[in-house]
A and B are shown apart, each in its own frame.
Chain A
Amino acid sequence: MANESMELVKGTVDVLILKTLSWKPMHGFSISEWISDTTSGDLGLQEGALYKALHRLERKGWIAGGWGLSENNRRAKYYRLTARGRAQLQAQSETWRRYSLAVSRVLEASAL
């Protein structure tokens, strides 16, 4: 049970990262800020897990990393979405949408 929920969380982080990077390339800190700003911190994402996900996605070739200068003129590692990552994002958002639709349908049905 615990494992399955971990998987769910992992998959959630992946798709969130892909979505975040679909706007523009960002570094790890700003991704973390963006996600917590957007979700008002509801997901309670641990920052270490975010970096693990970033490196995993980089290995899969869905995002690509590179060094650049940050807004405060420091060296930071930026990530951008690759073509394969974008395709992945589309596929995963579709899955997510259907998943949440199904879940809410169940919840609404039980409310009846």
Chain B
Amino acid sequence: MTGEPEFRRVFRLPRAPRRQVARELDDEFQYHLDRRIEKLVEEGLSPDEARTGALEAFGDVAEVRAYCFKQSVVRERTMRGTDWLSDTWQDLRFSARSLRKRPVFVAAVTLTLAVGIGAATAVFTVVSAVLLKPLPFEDADRLVGVWLTSPGWEVEWLEQPPATYFAIREDSESFEDSGLWKNTFVTVTGLDEAERVPATMVTDGVLPLLRARPIMGRLFNAEDDLPGSPQTVIVSHEFWQRRLGGDPDVVGRTIVVERSPREIIGVMPPGFRFMSNRSDVYWLRQFDPATVEMGDFSYNGVARLKPGVTLEQAQADASRVFLLALERYEGMSPDYARNLGMDVRLRPLKTELVGHTASTLWILLGTVAIVLLIACANVANLLLVRAQGRSREIAMRAAIGASRARIAQSFLTEGLVLSLVGGIAGLGLAAFGVRTLLGTLPEQFPRLAEISTDGTVLLFCLGLTALTGVVFGLLPVWRASGSDLAVELKAGGRGGVGRETNRTRNALVVSQVALALVLLVGAGLMVRSFQALNAVHPGFGHPDEVITFRVSMPGPGYSAGEEGQQTVQAMVEALEQLPGARSVAAITSFTMDGSTSNTSMDIEDFPTGEGETRPSFRVKWTAGEYFELMENPVLAGRPIERADVRDRNDVVVVTENLALAYWDSPETAIGKRLRDGDTWRTIVGVVGNVRDHGPGEPPVAVVYYPAVVNDFWGADTFVPRWMAYAVRTSGGAPASLMPEVRRIVRSVSPDLAITGIQTLEEIHDLSMVRTSFTLVLLGVAALVALFLGVIGIYGVVSYAVGQRTREIGVRMALGAATRDVSRLVVGQGFRLAAMGVVIGAVGAAALTRLMTPVIYGVSPADPLTFAVVAMTLVGVALLASYVPARRASAVNPVEALRAE
């Protein structure tokens, strides 16, 4: 009675949507009722009676239908889940099985991906922490740096004077609060041993406006700021632990900061940092609004915008207040300020902190993105070869009923398995890379302590992994979707090697070469910059023989007076007794060490006209044999001598660029005079130029004073407190002198503390660190790119040789010489490389312009760099195709023809 059913699908019904479920239920019931009616009619009932009887026998159709519908829907839902699970499980097992059989393939793909993903993740870790994340303060986007600008002085960012700080605090309407701060070093005494520690001078509003919270005690408040209030200080968690023994009752204790006793009122939380500085002491600076003038442009400003106020609105408001300040405070006439174009200038605090590193980091991120692209091109090539081998398998699976989606899913699974392994290895590499990066980055690099592998980074890595996995998973499917099943099956094991595929592979290799060229050109430009920087004479020689250290004299004010003179002379004399010391000097700031002082001056014979600005020069104070120690030649006259320091002679030495700016030659400058205040001082010598801002910046005009000066900055006897010393040894290892140096410093005065020990070479290297850092990373990236590019070319050419063995055999049988075959093969590699080089050169010409901020002394379109890189790449490509060419020319025509 019942026939064999013909199931639509051999294994399983396709899953159905709800509408179809309902329709099938209706069909099923209808069939049943029709049959029942037919049967009842056969038994002799009338059609109407039969219909009623059938419905009666069935029961409540609506109720049954609702019940069955629910059962079916639940079934569909579970089936979808278990189907997907079992499909995925099947795919995973299949992938694992087929991949295990190809360990070399798996290693090549995952390693390449790991390098690409790892490098990208490592650099992203730094970029995310430094550039993307907000500063670690509440509502940090409302914090701004407050500066002045003075185009007339050619200073874009000028530190604030207390006068504008008061004006902004009183009259502006855009800020919740503002404050001044400055990084200093202070000598802390009153504990067992004197120590020089990094410190931050703040006005009372700074820490509260950052929304900082002390873990103990309180922050500064307006009352502390009142003249006559007790002197107060806040210490860091680290200092509290290290020097105060973690004393729980530390609030209220007194420490001596710069010889003045201050009460500790609070302890900051562990790891608290303001503007990258690890300060141990935050000390309150009280300014008296009654006595400030429009001068002393020395302080960093910070302010918090009121909610809803934009930077532009605040800027306009601050400019208005600046004009008020000019009227209110003595020291600078409004006309003069207007002539200079002076104004207040605001910028987001984050920009202030990370601004100069942004270009380097973006270049770096671009670099690793290119490396990742090259890696992906390589992997894509490997996968194409594999897909080639599997085209028959795909055709077979499609023929026995697998849908395209099902096949895609299985390839996707394999792609994801590969990329996941690569991604996990990449994460490991990234962790290693970040640690290496942290080691290479200079200590002053902003937000260094905030760099860590966090959720954002993991998400980034996961995203990259998934993206590469999906792309690589779908690549073979996309490739196969164009192919004809029947053709694939007929082609047998050889698979259809279409023009299409070869074109894809060639395009991949060309883009690899092009990308590698971009990176190589970038690295080449950095090498040229580095050479150019090293060729610059910085104003000193043999820096590896010189050890420098700072021994500031504690106390208030700039000048240490008579007592300071004793200390400086005693220090120099004592250091000269060191065995192995060739020359010894004291100086306020070594070339390139970042410490600067500038003063406006009058030059005799060159009076400043009405409404003009007096020229401003960098000033340094020195004792001992500074120019001999630095190996900076005295071009005319004499250096500053011992007698000048002892007798406070009114003499100075100037640099060559300063002398030539006013006089014809260094010689004619001798005997001329200049003054900073009322006292004229005679130029007794001219020395070589110094690159005080680093080798990449133009030399700075410097005026050198003796370490002890009459009548300077309001002091009768001026001796700068912030003295540093240097010793040049006879060849090598100057750091070994340090124990002896410490003993000497203690013998001169127990109140002196040594800080900032570094060789002159370290100071020099530090000034080059951005260039060398970019150079090393770009260099490594370029080498990886070159390596991957070579592998790509080699892979494609040797694969082509494999395909063309028969053709080569025919050619040789017809009389082609070995040389002709080699040329044929090498020619293919050459064509690919040449195309890549041309495309890459166009790209590089566009991209290297972005490198302008980090290169020096070389054009971004430097023809030499481009030429050398292009020739190198082509040469390497020829080499890479020569190996398969040798194999091709060794083809035995008889065997090649028989093999098919």
Residues on A close to B: CB < 8 A? 24-30, 32-33, 46-49, 51-52, 54-56, 58-59, 64-71, 74-78, 80
Binding site for A on B (CB under 8 A): 1-9, 12-13, 24, 27-29, 31-32, 34-36, 57-61, 63-64, 67-68, 71-72, 74-75, 78
Q: A56-B71, A66-B8 are in contact. Are A77 and B2 (CB under 8 A)?
A: no
Indicate if the CB atoms of B31 and A77 lie closer than 8 Å: yes
A7 to B: closest C-beta gap in Å = 16
- Chain A residue with minimal CB distance to B74? A59
8 Å CB contact of B64 from A27, A52, A69: A52
**Known contacts A46-B59, A69-B3: does B27 contact A28 (CB below 8 Å)?**
no
Residues of B within 8 A of A48 (CB): 58-61, 63-64
The 8 closest A-B pairs by CB, nearest first: A68-B5, A48-B59, A78-B5, A48-B64, A55-B71, A55-B68, A59-B75, A66-B7
A78 to chain B: closest residue by CB: B5
Give complex CA distance A24, B3 in Å. Answer: 10
Report chain A residues within 8 Å CB of B4: 24-25, 68
Provide the bound-state CA to CA distance between A58 and B8, in Å: 17
Evaluate contact between A29 and B32: CB separation under 8 angstroms: yes
A74's contact among B13, B31, B75, by CB below 8 Å, is which?
B31
Separation of A67 and B12 alpha carbons in the complex (Å): 11
Q: What DSSP secondary structure best describes chain B's contact surface?
A: helix
Contact A71 B31 (CB under 8 A): no
Question: Is A27 in contact with B72, judged by CB distance below 8 angstroms?
Answer: no
Pick from A47, A49, A59, A74: contact of B72, CB below 8 A. Answer: A59
B2, B68, B75: the one contacting A51 at CB < 8 Å is B68
Residues of A near B27 (CB, < 8 A) are 75, 77
Min CB distance A79 to B, Å, is 9
* Nearest Cβ on chain A to B6's Cβ, whole angstroms: 5
Quote the shortest CB–CB distance from A71 to chain B (angstroms).
5
Contact call A28/B60, Cβ cutoff below 8 A:
no
Q: Write the nearest CB–CB distance from B67 to chain A, whole angstroms.
A: 5
Q: Which of A49, A55, A65, A75 has the most CB of B within 10 A?
A: A55
Instruction: Say which residue of A33, A46, A56, A74 sits within 8 Å of B58 (CB atoms).
Output: A46
Given A52-B64, A52-B68: A47 in contact with B32 (beta carbons within 8 A): yes
Q: Which residues of B contact A76 (CB under 8 A)?
A: 28, 31
For residue A66, give the distance in angstroms from its CB to the closest CB of chain B.
Answer: 4
B5: which of A25, A28, A46, A59 is its contact (CB, 8 Å)? A25
How far is it, in angstroms, between the C-alpha of A77 and the C-alpha of B7 when the chains are bound?
A: 10
Residue of B nearest to A74 (CB): B31
Name the distance in Å between B78's Cβ and chain A's nearest Cβ.
8
Given A30-B2, A47-B58, A74-B31, the answer on whether A68 and B7 have CB atoms closer than 8 Å is yes
B13, chain A: closest CB distance, angstroms? 6
Closest residue of A by beta carbon distance from B28? A77
Closest A residue to B38 using CB positions = A72
Q: How far is the CB of A6 from chain B (nearest CB, A)?
A: 14
Instruction: Select from chain B the residue with minimum beta-carbon distance to A28.
Output: B32
In the complex, what distance in Å separates the CA atom of A29 from the CA atom of B8? Answer: 20
Cα–Cα distance between A58 and B69 once the two chains are bound (Å): 12
Which residues from A are CB-within-8-Å of B75? 55, 58-59
- Chain B residues with CB under 8 Å of A77's CB are 24, 27-28, 31
Task: Tell me whether B72 and A70 are in contact (CB under 8 A).
Answer: no
Asked if A29 and B74 sit within 8 Å, CB to CB, the answer is: no
- Known contacts A47-B36, A75-B31; is-contact A69 B67 (Cβ 8 Å): no
Q: How far is the CA of A75 from the CA of B75 in the complex (A)?
A: 22
* 26 A–B contacts from the bound complex (CB under 8 Å): A25-B5, A28-B32, A29-B35, A29-B36, A30-B1, A32-B32, A47-B58, A48-B58, A52-B64, A52-B67, A55-B75, A56-B71, A58-B71, A59-B78, A66-B7, A67-B24, A68-B3, A68-B5, A69-B3, A69-B6, A70-B2, A70-B3, A74-B31, A74-B34, A75-B27, A76-B28
